[in-house]
Amino acid sequence: MICPFCKEKETSVIDSRPTEDGTVIRRRRECSCKQRFTTFERVQLRELIVVKKNGRKSTFDREKLAKSINIALRKRPVDSDTIEKFISKIYRNLEDLGQAEILSSTIGKYVMEGLKDLDPVAYVRFASVYTNFKEAKDFEQFVDQLNVPSKK
């Protein structure tokens, strides 16, 4: 594994442990430059291809999914382990479909369903981008459908 700090090709594993229901191995590494970093090893059954709304195809990028979810969850009371498990669950659900090509709308549906249960504010944030509201009234109708009881 290449050190992200000095680009040395040889690093040492100082700790290794399973996480996320045993589907991921977390490795703590140290370089000769004395910097430490973490890597994750995951099983990949097949390469998933995402089919965009315009028909374009691209390789599934877990980091891109993680980035959009982290943006929705920014400054929300959800810890990083919970977020990582959520992302892994979405990925496993996509693999369980048994298809090489996945519609981007399918990915969006899984994210929306998960965020609705995980954090209602993040759900609305993600939906505001994902559903591409045309007018403010569209957004208002969406929020009205949430039926989230207010805390008084």
CB neighbours of 23 closer than 8 A, spacing ≥ 6?
42, 43, 88, 92
The two tokens of residue 39 are 């890597």
Q: What is the pLDDT of residues 45-67, one digit of tens each?
A: 678 999 998 999 999 999 999 99
**pLDDT score recorded for residue 129:** 81
User: Residues 98-133: pLDDT tens digits?
Assistant: 889 999 999 999 999 999 999 989 998 888 888 777
Domain boundaries, the chain: 1-43, 45-144
pLDDT at 147: 64
**26 exposed, middle or buried (CB, 10 Å; 0-12, 13-18, 19+)?**
middle
Residue 141 pLDDT class (50, 70, 90 cuts): confident
Residue 67 gets the label, from left (phi > 0), alpha (psi -120 to 50) or beta, of alpha
- Tens digit of pLDDT for each residue in 65-100? 999 999 999 999 999 889 988 998 999 899 889 889
